[in-house]
């Protein structure tokens, strides 16, 4: 699958109240889905050495044992450090262990593991995910799932949904969970 992803992410300060509100106004898709995301970078082109980080390559495994590989390219040199859209390529894989061995042979190294419990809802052409991220805390992600005529229109729609949810949010995150975890480990 290939598409342009438009997504907002914020630390979430009132997750219990927001879950109750979402259960009233949105369609619940999943509750407490466990996701393990293992991030990699090629040795010859270190993704995290660039500031801001513009590319991510991950293998995701869910609590059902299904795995996928995903590559995101935000092109932040062109789009700016605070971009909320990227080119995204994702497909299912048969075995994450085999893929990790292939990556190792091709000089891709693991840079970070993100583990989270995710609950998702659909509301007004937006997938709303509430994540409990190990070592980082609670976050909300909002991703456009409808058809929009432009990236700007999709962003405007996402910000209007954020406002309508009346959630207590921290400062918008433009780095992503892997970068936040890497920075947290460096501070220790």
Which residue would you say has higher pLDDT here, 81 or 141? Answer: 141
Please tell me the distance from the alpha carbon of residue 175 to that of residue 107, in angstroms, as a whole number.
24
- Which among 34, 32, 42 is positioned nearest to 71, based on CA atoms? 42
- Which among 139, 164, 172, 156 is positioned nearest to 26, based on CA atoms? 164
Place of tokens 């993100």: 114
Residue 64 has pLDDT above 80, yes or no: yes
From the centroid of its chain, how far is CA 181? 13
User: Residue 3 corresponds to which tokens in the numbers above?
Assistant: 């598409």
Nearest 5°: phi and psi at 175?
A: -90, -40
pLDDT at 3: 64
Q: What is the band of 148 on the pLDDT scale with cuts at 50, 70, 90?
A: confident
Instruction: Compute the Cα dihedral for 70, 59, 63, 184 and give only its sign.
Output: negative
Please tell me the distance from the alpha carbon of residue 188 to that of residue 170, in angstroms, as a whole number.
22
> What average pLDDT score do residues 34-45 get?
95
Please tell me the distance from the alpha carbon of residue 102 to that of residue 122, in angstroms, as a whole number.
36
| Domains within the chain, CATH numbers bracketed | 2-187 (2.40.320.10)
> What average pLDDT score do residues 19-26 get?
96
Please tell me the distance from the alpha carbon of residue 5 to that of residue 37, in angstroms, as a whole number.
18
Nearest 5°: phi and psi at 156?
A: -60, -45
Nearest 5°: phi and psi at 74?
A: -85, -15
CA atoms within 13 A on the CB side of 178: 22
Percent of the chain predicted with pLDDT > 90 = 79
pTM of the model: 0.92
Contact (CB, 8 A) for 143 and 7: yes
């Amino acid at each position: 699958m290939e598409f342009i992803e438009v997504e907002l992410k914020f630390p979430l300060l009132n997750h219990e109240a927001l879950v109750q509100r979402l259960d009233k106004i949105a369609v619940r898709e999943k509750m407490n889905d466990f996701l393990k995301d293992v991030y990699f970078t090629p040795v010859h082109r270190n993704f995290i050495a660039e500031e801001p980080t513009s590319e991510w390559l991950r293998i995701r495994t869910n609590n059902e044992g299904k795995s996928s590989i995903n590559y995101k390219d935000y092109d932040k040199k062109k789009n700016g450090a605070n971009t909320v859209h990227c080119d995204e390529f994702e497909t299912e894989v048969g075995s994450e262990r085999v893929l990790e061995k292939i990556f190792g042979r091709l000089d891709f190294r693991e840079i970070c593991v993100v583990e989270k419990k995710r609950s998702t809802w659909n509301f007004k052409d937006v997938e709303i995910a509430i994540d409990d991220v190990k070592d980082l805390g609670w976050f909300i992600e909002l991703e456009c799932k409808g058809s929009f005529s432009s990236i700007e229109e999709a962003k405007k729609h996402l910000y209007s949904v954020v406002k309508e949810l009346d959630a207590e949010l921290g400062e918008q995150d433009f780095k992503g969970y892997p970068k936040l975890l890497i920075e947290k480990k460096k501070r220790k």
